[in-house]
Chain A
Amino acid sequence: MEGRRELAYFIAKRAIASLLVIIGTIIIVFLISHLLSPDPAVLWAGPKARASTIKSVIIRYHLNAPIYDQLYYFIIGFFSGNLGTDPVSGQPILKEILYYFPNTLELVLTALIFIVLIGVGLGYIAAVNFSSKKDAFIRILYTSAWASPTFLVAILAILIFTSYIPIFPSGGMYSPSIIPPTRVSGLFVLDSLIALNFGDFVNGLYHLILPALTLAFLNFGIITRISRNGILGVKWLPYVKSAKARGLSEKEINRSHILRNGLIETNTVIAVMFGWLITGTIVVEEIFSWPGIGRFAYSAISSDDYPVLIYVVITFTIFVIIANLLADIMYAVLDPRIRLRGD
């Protein structure tokens, strides 16, 4: 009973902290977009805007009001879901973000599954074969994956797997002939499964694999590194030696003594991973023509669509904060020590 109250307290504390960080984020983005620029009106209207457009933008975003009033309007507008309209497409920005967001989520979650599988697997192999050829090879592999620019990997993946050895589709979320199922969760793969349309489901997976693998390849390095070093950190501790002395098999020691304790740090890093994955989606989605929020951000940048860019930045950040919160809660449930540590 004691433990459950502690857990509830922990979750409440983390949730309030996250909410404060979200409000802080909105304030900082507001300060960037309203104070840093010499002329915010031109920024919000676009560099080639006419005088009349600039005037209407000033009225719409209250740019003549005192700065604290502007902040008030910005925050109130955000929390009431009134993000204004996209000057390029004429659609409400919130609607567009909500349309693109699930697609990105689908990509990021799939990539995360690949990352955990590849990352922990390789880290384990490297640690077990410490300072052998296998270890050296894996270390060079993950260092080079970490050092690759996103666009290099994405373009090479497309060139190799769709042009030279055409085994994957070159882009998009599903074949153009497919009519997407009714949106339930917004994730195409999940929705087609809910609609029991297995043809679409396979088609969706088929389009998902290459971009998700690209994202995973770019980011698995840090997980491999952390799990390798985590496992190495416990591998020579006395309790492992005593397990060996008790005559437990190598396999059993590895599984229940070394992996369990060696991978604690890996857990916390997987949450941080979201931030890097989101960063990667901007380039990966553009190159794979994946209709997600990263591609939306890219098109906003290339068409000088500042209002969209600002709200997409806020969306990205909030997504990362919420992902971290969920991860924190998950670990607190799994590992009681985290709850007791206080912070």
Chain B
Amino acid sequence: MNIIFSNKLSTSGFVIISIFFAIAIVYEIAGNRILPYNPLQINLYQVNAPPSFSHLFGTDQLGRDIFSRVIAAIPIDLGISMFVVIVSAFIGIFLGTIAGYFRGVLEEIIMRTTDLFFAFPPLVMAMAVAATLGPSLLNASISIIFVWWPPYVRLVRGNTLQVASSEFITMSKVLSTPFRKILTRGILPNIMTTLLVYATMDIGTAMLTLSTLGFLNIGIPVYTPELGSMSSILTTSFYTDPLEGLIPAFFIFIIVMGFSLMGEGMAELIDPNIRSHLISRRKRLEEFSRVEAKEGGATS
């Protein structure tokens, strides 16, 4: 927690994300009652209306209220991206620790498969899977997870290799501690910080991929309010009604920005080269101010 509030970038990112999480949770609990309109309600008398007091963000090509749809879409987008990242992280922990700890043939098989999946351009392969499975939110998540897990395996394996060669792990091996205990007490706590920072930034990237699938109309059911598929109207109407698609796109931008800012701030603190400099600089500043205070006290 301290790591988040230690610099401005990650604090502001954290605030942005918290606001959107609050909106998502309130909407999930209260449902459509808190919205001015039903997000799925079609009203052909009022299509493409500009923003006004009755429709805060205007209405889309079928007369649905864009404000209500954006609010309804936030939990869907946040939920799917988090689901993708969490499942990928678990796959990463599972395969990565096995490969990094047991080594041998198993590692070779796992890592070569990971390399193969790592070579795929993520969106393109997700597109192929989503187009094959057909539109549903679960299929959309599966298609993204399909290409999302390889970096996690690499990350976890790399860190496990480092930790597993350290003396306290050798010691527990000598004491014949069961693998489960070495994993949960020895390895996981040591790789958790890196994994969490990476995963935080990654939720934003996953959301970008999800919304691009939505924009391309693959994998997301037509009537589901999802920020990317709401923006897909842009391909036909961006000269006439640009706001219709730009507002949801802008919301994607803000949410992803929140995650990126948070990750960007935290990444700096776990990068050893930069961190040691930051810490030494802070110490020097503190000493300097102490000396100055002393000298200031002496002269007055």
Contacts and interface: CB of A to CB of B under 8 A. Distances in A.
A321 B119 contact: yes
Assign chain A's interface to a size class.
Answer: 35 or more
Interface stretch (A31-39, A88-96, A115-123, A202-210): A31-39
Contact of B264 (A32, A143, A276, A306): A143
A317 B212 contact: no
Interface string A101-116: 0000000000000000
Contacts of B129: 32, 36
A113 to B, nearest CB: 20
A283 B260 contact: no
Given A279-B122, A286-B235, A317-B119, A233 B261 contact: no
B128 A310 contact: yes
Contact of A309 (B116, B131, B253, B268): B131
Interface stretch (B49-57, B60-68, B101-109, B214-222): B214-222
A317 B116 CA distance: 11
Contact of A155 (B127, B242, B277): B242
B9 interface: yes
A84 interface: no
A339 B152 CA distance: 26
B127 A301 contact: yes
Given A152-B249, A278-B121, A310-B128, A301 B231 contact: no
A341 to B, nearest CB: 15
A149 B253 contact: yes
Contacts of A320: 119-121
B132 interface: yes
A21 B115 contact: yes
Interface in A246-278: 275-276, 278
Contacts of A139: 9, 264
B248 to A, nearest CB: 9
B234 to A, nearest CB: 5
B269 interface: no
A125 to B, nearest CB: 17
B250 A152 contact: yes
A166 interface: no
B261 A143 contact: yes
B263 to A, nearest CB: 9
A311 B41 CA distance: 39
A147 B204 contact: yes
A29 B128 contact: yes
Contacts of B120: 25, 275, 317, 320
Interface string A146-158: 1111111001101
A158 B234 CA distance: 12
A298 interface: yes
A310 B257 CA distance: 33
Interface in A128-179: 139-140, 143-144, 146-152, 155-156, 158-159, 163
A340 interface: no
Interface in A268-298: 275-276, 278-279, 282-283, 286-287, 297-298
A282 B204 CA distance: 20
B225 interface: no
A130 to B, nearest CB: 9
Contact of B242 (A159, A278, A279): A159
Contacts of B42: none
A141 to B, nearest CB: 12
A309 B219 CA distance: 14
A21 B120 CA distance: 10
Contacts of B116: 21, 24-25, 28
Nearest to A36: B132
A287 B121 contact: no
B119 A232 contact: no
A324 interface: yes
A146 B115 contact: no
Interface string A38-63: 00000100000000000000000000
A230 B228 CA distance: 34
A232 to B, nearest CB: 5
A236 interface: yes
A143 B257 contact: yes
A227 interface: no
A146 B127 CA distance: 21
A242 interface: no
Contact of A147 (B123, B134, B232, B256): B256
Interface in B202-233: 204, 208, 211-212, 215-218, 228, 231-232
A71 interface: no
A316 B121 contact: yes
Contacts of A236: 273, 277
A313 interface: yes
Nearest to B254: A147
Contacts of B245: 151, 155
A214 interface: no
A163 B245 CA distance: 17
A229 interface: yes
A278 B134 CA distance: 23
14 contacts: A25-B116, A25-B119, A32-B132, A33-B128, A155-B242, A155-B246, A225-B264, A229-B273, A236-B277, A275-B122, A286-B235, A301-B217, A310-B128, A313-B124
Given A143-B9, A276-B121, A316-B124, 6 more contacts: A25-B120, A232-B273, A232-B277, A234-B273, A279-B212, A301-B216
